[in-house]
Amino acid sequence: MNKYLLSLFKNKSGIDLLIISLIIFVIFPLSMDIFRLNLVGKYLTFAFTSVGLVMLWGYGGILSLGQGIFFGIGGYCMAMFLKLEASDSVSTAHQTTPGIPDFMDWNQLTELPTFWMPFHSLTFTLFAIVGIPIIVAYIIGISMFKRRVSGVYFSIITQAIAAIVTILVVGQQGFTGGINGITDLKTLHGWNINTDSAKYILYYINGGLLILTVLVCKYVASTKLGRLLLAIRDKEDRVRFSGYDVANFKVFAFALSAVISSIGGAMFTLQVGFMSPSIIGIVPSIEMVIFAAIGGRMSLIGAIYGALLVNYGKTAFSESFPTLWLFFMGAMFIGVVMFFPEGLSGLYVSYAPKLKSWFEKKFIKDKSLTNSSVKRAG
Amino acid sequence: MAQILLAIEGLTVSFDGFKAVDDLNLYIEEKELRVIIGPNGAGKTTVLDLICGKTKATSGSIKFKDSELTKLPEYKLVQLGVGRKFQTPSIYENLTVFENLEISYPKGRNVFGALRFKRDDVVLNKIHEIADMIFLTELLEIQSGLLSHGQKQWLEIGMLLIQDPELLMLDEPVAGMSVVEREKTAELLNKIAKGRSLIVIEHDMEFVKQIAHRVSVLHQGKLLAEGSMESVQANPKVIEVYLGH
């Protein structure tokens, strides 16, 4: 692993990683107020999902249209913990049943449901954020990949699961907060998350986790497993007839992308201060795919730029033309698929060297000009 | 008499009532190079699909050493020592020749094994040894999609050789090859047949003569004739349905 880190900083991808780190850790915090920075922090939580999709879709060739489920698992786990902390018996004294979350009280629940109990513990919550998406992805993955469900069928089924989960969350208002989600979150282990300083700290934790995630993914991609994923994408049968149980590798990629999305979801809840079904359903799940597609589905760092740009566009555009945004995004997706299948990173790879040589030519020409003019003057 | 490595008995597969392979019996001995010939639609490729588990048999048995192959998943079959080359070259075009061979190397075959897999000297030596055999030493770092058709065929053979299978099945290995490539391939097959059994499907009779120990002729999913190349070529039934007058 150490050798791997060293090698990273000798080649170009190390530089790309350094640039994005600079942008996240230095340029954004210096150039924005905390409101805008918090917004960027929110965009970056979506970048987790698109990084996960690069591994799953770009490398493994498996398109999941249900990554919102996993984003939601992380987000809801964190929100449940925060909500329980915000619902102590003092601040909920006016309720019929003090000590339970407010929405449960409105829904005539008189005691905390059993599955909420463990979320009193922060340790459990953190384990759940990592563990539950792995378990869910494992169950979905094994039941589909072992039966050789793949391609568009897998996409449709994951999309259906996203729809089912959303309907379930909305329908079970007493247990989940329904369509409003879980709101009014205050403290994390006694630490107020709504202050400016907390927002700065959370922004940096979020950025740090994101870069760490990219490093882990880069490592996985550099191992034999990464090459196997590419091989499965290209010639699944050849891999199977080379002695590999292909389904297990797909399950691994799916579970990896699930954990990454879940961490993003947890950071979303912490930074934005609520979690609701509108962030986990079909449309957000497709948006997550679009971030990855626009960033370039083979580029882990491109996925971050994709998430940042599209979300920025969404905010800027939907403020003035709220109804047009969906059409615009659809057009963008079609455009990328038709004309730039490698996304932004593909454009960067093919045009950056040309741009560089153009600059060099101009620069060297200017230099030779000045040299000759100096000579003439001399 | 030599040991039987693969015993196929009463093998039948039907697709919607059409029997592509019909009550077939076939025995392959250890270190034998068997060529299967027959007209189009005779069921040659289907037989290989059945042996390697790509198609499931309707009835009958395929015994490899002591294992019944019809009940095993594909990857377990491969781990037992059955290798299969497909008719169209089936390689990972986006990876280099080296990486193609490396992925086929029989180590790190589960998820966590693959994460821990290291390119140690044993692996490197084996890859270079195989690359040498399949005439691709100079091209190890080339993206395999850029290879010529014949070189792709060799690469796929190499990917199987690196797994050191006891039974290797090749579906039309010289299809689309130049004359020189054909000769080199014949030489390669004769070399690799020394350590293992081979089943080869081929149409090119000149090529078959160069390599075959014994020939089986399939016709409409059934075994029509079996024996040396000369005896098969002289068989009136074979001339009738396949070789022509």
Are B172 and B231 within one domain? yes
Which chain A residues are within 8 Å of B54, Cβ to Cβ? Answer: 237, 241
At which of B111, B139, B164 does a domain end?
B164
pLDDT for the residue numbered B166:
94
Q: Which helix (H) or strand (E) holds B49?
A: helix B44-52
Are B131 and B172 within one domain? no
Are A213 and A266 within one domain? yes
Are A335 and A353 within one domain? no
Are A236 and A356 within one domain? no
In this complex, is the C-beta atom of B114 within 8 Å of any C-beta atom belonging to chain A?
A: yes
pLDDT for the residue numbered A145:
96
Give the angle A180-A182-A188 at the CA atoms, nearest 5°: 155
Q: Is there a contact between A41 and A203 (Cβ–Cβ < 8 Å)?
A: yes
CB contact under 8 A, A235 and B92: yes
Are A230 and A363 within one domain? no
B240 found inside a domain: yes
**What ipTM was estimated for this complex?**
0.90
Are A332 and A355 within one domain? no
Are B77 and B170 within one domain? yes
Instruction: Please give the span between the terminal C-alpha atoms of chain A, in angstroms, as a whole number.
Output: 58
Q: What is the pLDDT of residues B171-199, one digit of tens each?
A: 999 888 899 999 999 999 989 988 899 99
B88 found inside a domain: no
Are A253 and A359 within one domain? no
Are A154 and A258 within one domain? yes
pLDDT for the residue numbered A10:
59
Q: How many domains does chain B have?
A: 2
Instruction: List the CATH number of the domain containing B8.
Output: 3.40.50.300
Q: What percent of chain B has pLDDT over 70?
A: 99
Beta strands in chain A (DSSP E): 187-188, 191-192
In this complex, is the C-beta atom of B120 within 8 Å of any C-beta atom belonging to chain A?
A: no
B77 found inside a domain: yes
Q: How many domains does chain A have?
A: 2
Which chain A residues are within 8 Å of B79, Cβ to Cβ? Answer: 243
The whole-angstrom separation of Cα B165 and Cα A15 is 44
Are A35 and A83 within one domain? yes
pLDDT for the residue numbered A348:
85
Q: Output b/e per residue, A265-298; b: 16+ Cβ within 10 A.
A: bbbbbbbbbbbbbebbbbebbbbbbbbbbbbbbb
Taking residue A112's Cβ as centre, other Cβ atoms within 10 Å add up to: 17
pLDDT for the residue numbered A366:
56
Are B6 and B100 within one domain? no
Among B48, B85, B80, B47, smallest CA distance to B65 is for: B80
Q: Give the residue on B whose Cα is nearest the Cα of A251.
A: B111
At which of B147, B164, B181 does a domain end?
B164
Are B132 and B18 within one domain? no
Are B124 and B180 within one domain? no
Q: Is there a contact between A294 and A344 (Cβ–Cβ < 8 Å)?
A: yes
B86 found inside a domain: no
Return residues 231-260 of A near B (CB < 8 Å). 231, 234-235, 237-246, 248-249, 252
Return residues 54-83 of A near B (CB < 8 Å). none
In this complex, is the C-beta atom of A220 within 8 Å of any C-beta atom belonging to chain B?
A: yes
Are B108 and B215 within one domain? no
The whole-angstrom separation of Cα A79 and Cα A96 is 22
B89 found inside a domain: no
Taking residue B86's Cβ as centre, other Cβ atoms within 10 Å add up to: 21
pLDDT for the residue numbered A4:
65
Are B8 and B70 within one domain? yes
pLDDT for the residue numbered B213:
87
Phi, psi of B178 (to 5 degrees): -75, 170
Are A227 and A139 within one domain? yes
Are A153 and A165 within one domain? yes
User: Which of B88, B111, B120, B167 should we substitute to test contact with A (largest number of A Cβ atoms within 10 Å)?
Assistant: B111
Residue numbers in chain A where pLDDT is lower than 70: 1-11, 364-378
Q: What is the pLDDT of residues B21-61, one digit of tens each?
A: 999 999 999 999 999 998 888 889 999 999 999 999 999 99
Are A372 and A307 within one domain? no
> What tens-digit pLDDT sequence spans chain B (245 residues)?
578 999 999 999 998 888 999 999 999 999 999 999 988 888 899 999 999 999 999 999 999 988 999 999 999 999 999 999 998 889 999 999 999 999 999 999 999 999 999 999 999 999 999 999 999 999 999 999 999 999 999 999 999 999 999 999 999 998 888 999 999 999 999 899 888 999 999 988 888 988 888 999 999 999 999 999 889 888 998 888 887 75
Are B172 and B54 within one domain? yes
Domain residue limits at B25: 1-81+166-245
DSSP string, B109-177: -SHHHHHH----HHHHHHHHHHHHHTT-GGGTTSBGGGS-HHHHHHHHHHHHHTT--SEEEEESTTTT-
How close, in Å, is residue A68 to chain B by CA atoms? 25
Are A41 and A139 within one domain? yes
Are B68 and B119 within one domain? no
Are B77 and B99 within one domain? no
In this complex, is the C-beta atom of A309 within 8 Å of any C-beta atom belonging to chain B?
A: no
How close, in Å, is residue A132 to chain B by CA atoms? 20
pLDDT for the residue numbered A9:
58
Q: For tokens 């100079």, name the residue.
A: B138
The whole-angstrom separation of Cα A32 and Cα A215 is 27
CB contact under 8 A, A230 and B75: no
Are B189 and B157 within one domain? no
In this complex, is the C-beta atom of B236 within 8 Å of any C-beta atom belonging to chain A?
A: no
At which of B164, B182, B206 does a domain end?
B164
DSSP string, A92-129: TTTSSSTTS-HHHHHTT--S--GGGGGGG-HHHHHHHH
Which chain A residues are within 8 Å of B83, Cβ to Cβ? Answer: 241
Q: Which residues pair with B171 in a beta bridge?
A: B201
Domain residue limits at A169: 2-341
Q: Give the residue on B whose Cα is nearest the Cα of A234.
A: B92
Average model confidence (pLDDT) for chain B?
Answer: 91
